[in-house]
Amino acid sequence: MLQIGLTGAALLPVVAYAGWPVQKDRPYVAAQKDRPYTVVFDERFSKSRALARELAGPATPLTAIRGDVTALWYHHLYFAWQKNPESIAGVTTAESLFCLEMLARDAGLCVTRRQQVDADLLSWSIGPRRRVL
C-alpha cells in the first residue's frame, strides 16, 4: 500500500513536466486524447454550468444554450460536423438532447453516454457509432 502512494506521488512532477493537464480532484489523471469538440450546457440551470465546466476541463470550450439548440446547430455544429463529425458532450434537458441526437444521426453520430443528473438534467456524450464485429 505504501509503495502505491509513493509511486503516485513520484509521478505528479512527471505529469506536470510533460505538460499534461492535471485536475485538482484527480491529480494523477492526464486529460483524455478524445476530448469533445465542445461541452454544451443549459445556462438556465446553475448545476448544468458547473457540471459542464467539470466535464470540459481547461482545454475544451463551453457552449451555452437556453433550452433551444437551433443557434448551436446553425452556427456551429452543422458546419463542424460537415467537415469532421466530432464528439460533443453536455449537461442539458432531455428535450435538448433529443434534438441534438436527431441532428447527430445525419453526421453518423449517436448518443454514447446518458446519465440522469437530477429531475431536470441529463449528462451525455454524442460520438461515433460503435462498430459491432
DSSP secondary structure, 94-131, as one string: HHHHHHHHHHHHTTTEEEEEEEE-SSS-EEEEEEEPPP
- Total number of domains constituting the chain: 2
pTM of the predicted model over 0.75: no
Cell matching residue 31: 486529460
37 with 91, same domain: the answer is yes
Distance separating alpha carbons of residues 126 and 91, to the nearest angstrom: 12
Highest mean pLDDT among 8-22, 39-53, 119-133: 39-53
| β-pairing verdict for 88-92 and 122-128 | antiparallel
Residue 69, pLDDT score:
97
What is the rounded average pLDDT for all residues in the chain? 80
99 with 65, same domain: the answer is yes
User: What are the φ and ψ backbone dihedral angles of 84, each rounded to 5 degrees?
Assistant: -155, 105
35 pLDDT band, cuts 50/70/90, is confident
Distance separating alpha carbons of residues 32 and 71, to the nearest angstrom: 28
10 with 43, same domain: the answer is no
Whether 5 is in a domain gets the answer yes
4 with 52, same domain: the answer is no
58 with 113, same domain: the answer is yes
